[in-house]
């Protein structure tokens, strides 16, 4: 039995988890080293390391994907949720979790060009930051004498630029910064040219451009680094890329967009002869203005003598009128003073007559009489009120001393049959009739018992003999 077990265990092939995962990784990597996968992006997550993680899914399945930083920087567009793409890469196994994943090396949108999607993404980003705002764009100088050009020294664009600039205004200063405008390193070269002119501050305007081409050929001018370099340039920048139908990011960021390099040269500097013609026309206008001004001055000088005489006459007449006004004001003041004195005397006389007026005297006498009569009435009232108050006081005292008031407090008056007041018990014999006067009403009673001793207790009710 032990021999059998030994034989069976010797036939088993044991793997650790790491060995199994490594073996599966080798098999998968050898089989799926270069493939294209179609799906929809979901759950995009870009971490601080620069790696991009997302998931490709269809109606039934999904696969995890990772795009490392070095590859993510070269993608033509940034992965977004919900975008259908074609992903090229290889299958790898993430050993820590035992999961397989797709290492993405190329990413293209399905039904939408990768370059166009990258163009729209960058355009929206820079627009949201205000780099396309018309308010920040600067006008071109009217007559720049120093022009900087950033382009390829071998292209037809630079020849057209220099030829047109020299023909329109001979003697203009032009400096060319040679730069690649297509392929690897072109973005860095164009950015270096713009920054060179920005640091030197030599040019009054900078032209950046190249001739026409496909979207891929013009892609250097759709890079974010170049757009930000143009926005940071301290002098106006003209974008002259491709043909009139070609639009790049630099066209939106630059201060002025020229449809072609030749058009940029025509926009930057005017024709010299036009400037000379404008100067000659200005000289003619200035001569006409000077002649008109001289004629006006001559006429004014001629009129000055007449105007001076008129001024002297008006001055003398004005002085005379001023003197007459002063005399008139003096007479008016004297008249007002006299009228005021006479009015004052008239008012004083009127006041004296008013003092002598009989009606006033009668009125004052009537007032004194009324005041005296009021005093008499007041004294009469006092005389009448004093006896009344005294009588009321006596009545109050009489009321307080009245037997009726005593009866009101519960006492009674006992009378004999003859009408005498009974003050002592011996005045009423036993068996005699007496009358009892109350506060209200009379009582008739018969004496049942008589107690002459005043110390005897009062007996309530009928007494027994």
- The verdict on 261 and 157 lying in the same domain is yes
Range with the poorest average pLDDT among 135-139, 186-190, 350-354: 350-354
- pLDDT tens digits for range 384-409: 788 888 888 887 777 777 777 777 77
For 360, what's the count of Cα atoms within 13 Å in the CB-facing half-sphere?
7
Tell me how far the alpha carbon of residue 64 is from its chain's centroid.
Answer: 49
Q: Is residue 68 part of a domain?
A: yes
Residue 216 and residue 246: Cα distance in Å, rounded?
Answer: 12
**DSSP 8-state code for residue 97:** T
- Dihedral angle sign, alpha carbons of residues 358, 359, 360, 361: positive
Question: Quick one: what percent of the chain has pLDDT higher than 70?
Answer: 93
Q: Does the pLDDT of residue 44 top 60, yes or no?
A: yes
Q: Is residue 236 part of a domain?
A: yes
Alpha helices, H only, 12-78: 17-31, 69-72
Confidence of residue 278 (pLDDT cuts 50, 70, 90): confident
- The verdict on 216 and 181 lying in the same domain is yes
Residue 445 · residue 433 · CB < 8 Å? yes
Show the tokens assigned to 82: 């919900």
pLDDT at 111: 59
Residue 436 and residue 451: Cα distance in Å, rounded?
Answer: 18
Q: Is residue 232 part of a domain?
A: yes
Name the more confident of 402 and 94: 94
pLDDT at 200: 92
Q: Does the pLDDT of residue 230 top 90, yes or no?
A: yes
- The verdict on 105 and 125 lying in the same domain is no
Q: Does the pLDDT of residue 302 top 80, yes or no?
A: no
Range with the poorest average pLDDT among 139-148, 175-184, 234-243, 309-318: 309-318
Helix H or strand E segment including 342: helix 272-356
Domain boundary residue among 237, 270, 303? 270
Q: Is residue 341 part of a domain?
A: no
Confidence of residue 193 (pLDDT cuts 50, 70, 90): very high
- The verdict on 167 and 125 lying in the same domain is yes
Q: Is residue 35 part of a domain?
A: yes
Show the tokens assigned to 362: 């009668």
Alpha carbon separation from 321 to 338, 353, 383, 451 (Å, rounded): 26, 48, 86, 136
- The verdict on 158 and 93 lying in the same domain is no
Name the more confident of 399 and 184: 184
Residue 177 · residue 229 · CB < 8 Å? no
Mean pLDDT (whole number) for 232-250: 88
Residues 6+ apart with CB under 8 A from 270: 142, 143, 168, 169
Mean pLDDT (whole number) for 229-248: 89
Q: Is residue 456 part of a domain?
A: yes
Show the tokens assigned to 163: 């030829």
Specify the number of domains making up the chain. 4
**Closest Cα partner for 198 from 226, 223, 235, 228?**
235
- The verdict on 127 and 248 lying in the same domain is yes
Q: Is residue 282 part of a domain?
A: no
Name the more confident of 197 and 12: 197
Domain boundary residue among 270, 296, 323? 270
- The verdict on 14 and 79 lying in the same domain is yes
Q: Does the pLDDT of residue 457 top 60, yes or no?
A: no
Mean pLDDT (whole number) for 118-136: 88
- pLDDT tens digits for range 415-442: 887 878 888 887 787 888 888 888 788 8
- Dihedral angle sign, alpha carbons of residues 458, 461, 462, 465: negative
- The verdict on 168 and 213 lying in the same domain is yes
Helix H or strand E segment including 164: helix 156-168
pLDDT at 463: 39
- The verdict on 124 and 100 lying in the same domain is no
- pLDDT tens digits for range 340-390: 888 888 888 888 777 776 777 788 888 888 888 888 888 888 877 888 888
Residue 254 · residue 230 · CB < 8 Å? yes
- The verdict on 238 and 207 lying in the same domain is yes
**DSSP 8-state code for residue 23:** H
- The verdict on 126 and 253 lying in the same domain is yes
Domain boundary residue among 238, 270, 302? 270
Mean of the per-residue pLDDT values of the chain = 82
Alpha carbon separation from 47 to 67, 99, 299 (Å, rounded): 11, 20, 86
Q: Which of 72-76, 303-307, 405-409 has the highest mean pLDDT?
A: 72-76
Q: Which residues of 208-236 are buried (b: 16+ CB within 10 A; e: fewer)?
A: bbbbbeeeebbbbbbbeebbebbbebebb
Name the more confident of 8 and 127: 127
Rounded to 5°, angle at Cα 99 from 97 and 103: 115
pLDDT at 4: 47
Q: Does the pLDDT of residue 1 top 50, yes or no?
A: no
Residues 6+ apart with CB under 8 A from 141: 204, 205, 236
Question: Quick one: what percent of the chain has pLDDT higher than 90?
Answer: 16
pLDDT at 146: 92
Residues of the domain holding 68? 6-112
Confidence of residue 66 (pLDDT cuts 50, 70, 90): very high
pLDDT at 34: 83
Mean pLDDT (whole number) for 160-174: 87
3-state DSSP call for residue 335?
helix
Q: Is residue 251 part of a domain?
A: yes
pLDDT at 462: 43
Location of structure tokens 């005292």? 397
- The verdict on 46 and 150 lying in the same domain is no
């Amino acid at each position: 039995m032990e021999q059998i077990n030994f034989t069976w265990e010797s036939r088993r092939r044991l793997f650790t988890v790491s060995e199994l995962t490594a073996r599966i990784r080798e098999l998968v990597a050898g089989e799926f080293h270069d493939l294209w996968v179609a799906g929809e992006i979901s759950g995009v997550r870009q971490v601080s390391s620069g790696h991009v993680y997302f998931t490709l899914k269809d109606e039934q399945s999904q696969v995890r994907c990772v795009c490392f930083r070095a590859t993510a920087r070269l993608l033509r567009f940034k992965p977004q949720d919900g975008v259908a793409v074609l992903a090229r890469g290889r299958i790898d196994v993430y050993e820590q979790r035992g999961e397989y994943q797709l290492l993405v090396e190329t990413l293209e949108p399905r039904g939408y060009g990768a370059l166009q999607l990258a163009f729209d993404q960058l355009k929206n980003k820079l627009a949201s930051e205000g780099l396309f705002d018309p308010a920040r764009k600067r006008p071109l100088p009217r007559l720049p004498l120093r022009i900087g050009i950033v382009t390829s020294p071998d292209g037809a664009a630079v020849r057209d630029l220099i030829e047109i600039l020299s023909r329109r205004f001979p003697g203009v200063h032009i400096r060319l910064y040679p730069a690649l405008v297509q392929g690897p390193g072109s973005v860095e070269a164009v950015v270096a040219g713009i920054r060179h002119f920005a640091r030197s501050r030599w040019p009054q305007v900078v032209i950046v451009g190249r001739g026409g081409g496909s979207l891929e050929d013009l892609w250097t001018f759709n890079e974010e680094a170049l757009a930000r370099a143009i926005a940071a340039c301290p002098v106006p920048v003209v974008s002259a890329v491709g043909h009139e139908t070609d639009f790049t990011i630099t066209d939106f960021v630059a201060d002025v967009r020229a449809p072609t390099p030749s058009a940029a040269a025509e926009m930057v500097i005017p024709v010299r002869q036009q400037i000379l013609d404008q100067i000659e026309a200005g000289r003619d206008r200035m001569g006409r203005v000077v002649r008109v001004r001289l004629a006006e001055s001559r006429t004014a000088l001629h009129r000055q003598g007449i105007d001076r005489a008129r001024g002297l006459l008006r001055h003398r007449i004005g002085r005379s009128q001023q003197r007459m006004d002063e005399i008139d004001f003096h007479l008016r003041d004297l008249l007002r003073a006299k009228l005021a004195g006479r009015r004052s005397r008239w008012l004083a006389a009127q006041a004296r007559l008013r003092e002598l007026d009989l009606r006033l005297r009668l009125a004052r006498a009537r007032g004194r009489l009324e005041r005296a009569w009021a005093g008499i009435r007041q004294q009469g009232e006092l005389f009448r009120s004093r006896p009344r108050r005294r009588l009321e006081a006596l009545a109050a005292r009489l009321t307080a001393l009245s037997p009726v008031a005593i009866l009101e407090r519960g006492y009674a008056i006992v009378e004999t049959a003859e009408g005498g007041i009974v003050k002592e018990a011996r005045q009423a014999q036993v068996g005699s009739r007496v009358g009892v006067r109350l506060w209200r009403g009379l009582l008739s009673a018969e004496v049942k018992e008589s107690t002459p001793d005043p110390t005897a207790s009062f007996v309530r009710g009928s007494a027994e003999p």
